[in-house]
Structure 1
Amino acid sequence: MTGPTVSSPHEVTDLAAVTLLVHDRTRRVLGAFLGREQTVAGAARETGLDLRVVHRDVQALRRAGLLRVTREQARAGRPVKMYRAHADDLFVDARHLPQQAGEGQAAALDPLFHHAVAREFRRALSDFSPGWGLRVYATPDAPGFAVLEGPRSARRLSPLDEWQGPPARMLSGTPTAHLTTAQVTEVQRDLILLMRKVAEFSAANAGAGQPVLLRLGLAPLTEDELRNLHR
């Protein structure tokens, strides 16, 4: 017994069409016409967008070949046009995507993340007792001393305290390591599970709680890139 036939998506290469597909609002408008007929007014109600904005987007999508008029409904005055997507499954090869797609958001998120981390760390420092700062202290092992950020007290730090610092509602780190392919896959899986966990918490909270930005990344480096980091 064979399974159902899966149709291949319609590949989009036209620059105007690609530009519309990478734009969030025009994607939302197009979504109202995927798999069904729809009017401009119906799409506006479904998306919650202004009717005039939807009308402009529909005309742009039509000119780009992403929408077509399927029929017209007669009524008193001008007939109502029914539209439908040219194809219900669209695909844009990454080679045809604008280079800046996604980069603008990342460029805005990175400074926002570092700003929020610094603000939270300053708050944690002001609340932390007996204080947190640079520690230089003697050790029995060579070279006879150690340097780290830590509390004023001379107590031995746990590995978690050494990693996180003062009690704070944030965590920022950029560790480098040599990992096998299997280990990279395992770490990647753990990061995906963490993102899913955060998404599940957020959905359950229904907008309540503290807004949080989670920034995760894992990327292979060349040996030259790693050496340059430590120069």
Structure 2
Amino acid sequence: MKSRPHRVENRLQAELLMDRTWLRLLDVFAREGRGVADAARVLGVTTEWLFRRVRRLERAGLLSVQGARSRAGRAVKLYRAAAETFFVPFSLVPPETVGRQNRAQHLELFETAIGRTFLQAPFDQDGWGFVTARMPNGDVHLRIMREDGALWADLGDAAPVMVSGWHVLHLTPSDAHELQGELRALHGRYAQRTGEVPFLLGIFLADTSRVSGLEHAHGAAP
């Protein structure tokens, strides 16, 4: 029988668990006690870098010493996470703030990756830029294009792997649920694969009918 998630009762723990960087560090210690050097090898970081973060997780009560083992004549502390999974109630963290810091960090990483893409061939050549375009539903967007009319898609396998864009869609509730299911299924299918190159994928879909800021969008209510 699967155990229930450990309920978090303080805001410090909740804030750390909202940040996937901290969550990934904690997860290395979730299923067994590990020494810091061993965990650092798994994560691909230095022992010194990880040790400082282990101390913070320990002070927050998310990690604790579960024993020790002898190595090269000295005792190595074994750290274990407080649980394998955690439940953070919205009474500790308002729903609108969940993941905000996480998304900001990943957006910065994404923008940096895009910047480096455009320093490489073929975009290091003159003539590339963006063209404004209009979708059938009236939403306007930007497309990467060369001045002679060649599009990103025309490069085929030579095109860097990157998808970027925000689009306003006007859907029925049924269409929106269908799209939500397809996006989850698409992510799930590729999440099972194990390749050697890391890619950052972001999936965003939200009902903005009651949120100001898109009054200009085609089809928006007056």
Measured against the shorter chain, the TM-score band is 0.5 to 0.7
In the alignment, the residues of structure 2 paired with residue 193 and residue 17 of structure 1 have an alpha-carbon distance, to the nearest angstrom, of 31
Deviations 1:172-204 (A, max 9, x none): 57344351x32321232234445567x47xx68
In the alignment, the residues of structure 2 paired with residue 224 and residue 30 of structure 1 have an alpha-carbon distance, to the nearest angstrom, of 38
Deviations 1:129-168 (A, max 9, x none): xxxxxxxxxxxxxxxxxxxxxxxxxxxxxxxxxxxxx855
- Give the Å deviation of 1:32: 2.1
Deviations 1:2-45 (A, max 9, x none): xxx23211012322222332334432332221121111121112
* Alignment coverage as a number of residue pairs: 183
Structure 1 or 2: more helix by fraction: 1
Which structure's relative contact order is higher, taking Cα pairs within 8 Å and 6+ residues apart?
2
Aligned to 1:188: 180
- Give the Å deviation of 1:50: 0.7
Kept in 1, the 8 Å contact 2:144–2:151? The answer is no
Question: Mind listing any 5+ residue stretches in structure 1 that lack a counterpart?
Answer: 129-165
The reply to whether residue 119 of structure 1 matches residue 119 of structure 2 is no
In structure 1, the residue corresponding to 2:145 is in which secondary structure? helix
- Give the Å deviation of 1:47: 1.3
- Give the Å deviation of 1:51: 0.4
The reply to whether residue 86 of structure 1 matches residue 82 of structure 2 is yes
In the alignment, the residues of structure 1 paired with residue 42 and residue 12 of structure 2 have an alpha-carbon distance, to the nearest angstrom, of 24
Give the direction of change, closer, same or farther, for the CA distance of 1:173–1:68 in structure 2 (3 Å limit): closer
Aligned to 1:217: 205
In the alignment, the residues of structure 2 paired with residue 27 and residue 219 of structure 1 have an alpha-carbon distance, to the nearest angstrom, of 28
Question: Bigger radius of gyration, 1 or 2?
Answer: 1
In the alignment, the residues of structure 1 paired with residue 113 and residue 78 of structure 2 have an alpha-carbon distance, to the nearest angstrom, of 45
State how 1:41-120 maps to structure 2 within 5 Å: 41-74=37-70, 78-97=74-93, 99=97, 100-105=100-105, 108=108, 119-120=129-130
In the alignment, the residues of structure 2 paired with residue 184 and residue 16 of structure 1 have an alpha-carbon distance, to the nearest angstrom, of 35
In the alignment, the residues of structure 2 paired with residue 55 and residue 25 of structure 1 have an alpha-carbon distance, to the nearest angstrom, of 15
In the alignment, the residues of structure 1 paired with residue 194 and residue 72 of structure 2 have an alpha-carbon distance, to the nearest angstrom, of 48
Q: What is the letter of the counterpart of residue 48 of structure 1? A: G
Output the aligned Cα RMSD: 4.2
Aligned to 1:163: none
In the alignment, the residues of structure 1 paired with residue 111 and residue 72 of structure 2 have an alpha-carbon distance, to the nearest angstrom, of 56
Q: What is the letter of the counterpart of residue 8 of structure 2? A: V
Give the direction of change, closer, same or farther, for the CA distance of 1:216–1:109 in structure 2 (3 Å limit): farther
Kept in 2, the 8 Å contact 1:113–1:213? The answer is no
TM-score of the pair, normalised by structure 2: 0.59
